[in-house]
Amino acid sequence: MRKPVIGITLNWYANDESKVQSYGKWLFGLNQSYAEFLGKADVTTMGIIPSSEDFRSMLEVVDMIVLTGGGDTDPELYGQRDNGSIQHRRDRPLWEIGLYRKAREMKVPVLGICLGIQTIAIAEGGQLIQDISTQVENSEEHHGEAADPRMHTVEIMEDTILSGILDREIEVSSFHHQAIAGIPEGFYLAAKSPDGLIEGMESDDGLVVAVQWHPERDFTGPLLLESLIPRFCGDTE
């Protein structure tokens, strides 16, 4: 029996203009916290490099994928004008939307984290709140600083996959100024913050779990993997 293979997406960093001609427009990388997060599970981890759009070949060799966090998505991709987005990107979201849609077609399970839940929502026809602090009345602070992440309470909904893993109320690591504006068709609410923002959703078929917080930075990460890997991957041969 082999270990489950988990594919994880990488962040896209803009290369210096002086290096683009020699090295290309993008650098691809991942915060060590994600490596440590997956390193605690008995799995084989593979970075999914955006070398092509042959998503099927990439997905045929993994048992599940993790869509990681990152920067803002170009609001044109969800039918809005810029209204508080910060240095939004188009290349990575477009590529990961394609990867996600092929994963759904192939029934490859998906765990979405932060930008991941937003990418899933956009791929499913949803919208984003572009800036929580200016567009959500009486909102909590969700962003914090990279060196001092914000911790806040999240309520886990009853009768969800997350409710079988986590307590009803938990403190999570939060680092986002955007959020999904609603639950897309085929999904249901799995977690919310006290100000009413969506913090988690799950697909009706049970193959997608997505959270707005950062489980790779708090206690929820190992608990999620411990439960989701056998659920998603089952026995591997």
* Collapsed DSSP state (helix, strand, coil) of residue 82: coil
Label residue 199 by pLDDT band (50, 70, 90): very high
Those residues with Cβ within 8 angstroms of residue 20's Cβ, 6 or more apart along the chain or in another chain: none
pTM of structure: 0.95
Q: Residue 74 and residue 63: Cα distance in Å, rounded?
A: 30
Q: Predicted confidence band at 129 (pLDDT cuts at 50, 70, 90)?
A: very high
Confidence category of residue 155, pLDDT binned at 50, 70, 90: very high
Question: Could you tell me whether strands 110-113 and 208-211 are parallel, antiparallel, or unpaired per DSSP bridges?
Answer: parallel
What's the confidence (pLDDT) of residue 148? 67
pLDDT digits (tens, 9 = 90+) for 30-60: 999 999 999 989 999 999 999 999 999 999 9
Q: What is the pLDDT of residue 135?
A: 85
Number of domains composing the chain? 1
Q: Which of 96, 114, 152, 176 is catalytic?
A: 114
CATH number of the domain to which 122 belongs:
3.40.50.880
State pLDDT tens for residues 81-106. Answer: 999 899 999 999 999 999 999 999 99
Closest CA to 120 of 234, 5, 6, 9: 9
Catalytic residue among 142, 152, 176, 214: 214
Q: How far apart are CA 38 and CA 33, in angstroms?
A: 9
CA distance 199 to 184: 14
Query: Is the pLDDT reported for residue 237 higher than 60?
Result: no
The domain of 117 spans: 5-233
- E strand map for the chain: 5-9, 11-14, 26-29, 44-48, 64-67, 110-113, 128-129, 144-145, 148-156, 169-174, 179-180, 187-192, 198-203, 208-211
- Tell me which of 152, 177, 216, 226 is the catalytic residue: 216
Q: What is the pLDDT of residues 165-196, one digit of tens each?
A: 999 999 998 888 899 999 999 999 999 999 89
Active site residue 114: yes
- Kindly give the residue spans of alpha helices, DSSP state H, lying in the chain: 17-23, 32-39, 55-59, 91-106, 115-123, 132-135, 220-233
Written as six digits, the tokens of 89 are: 């990107």
pLDDT value at residue 68: 97
Q: Is 216 a catalytic residue?
A: yes
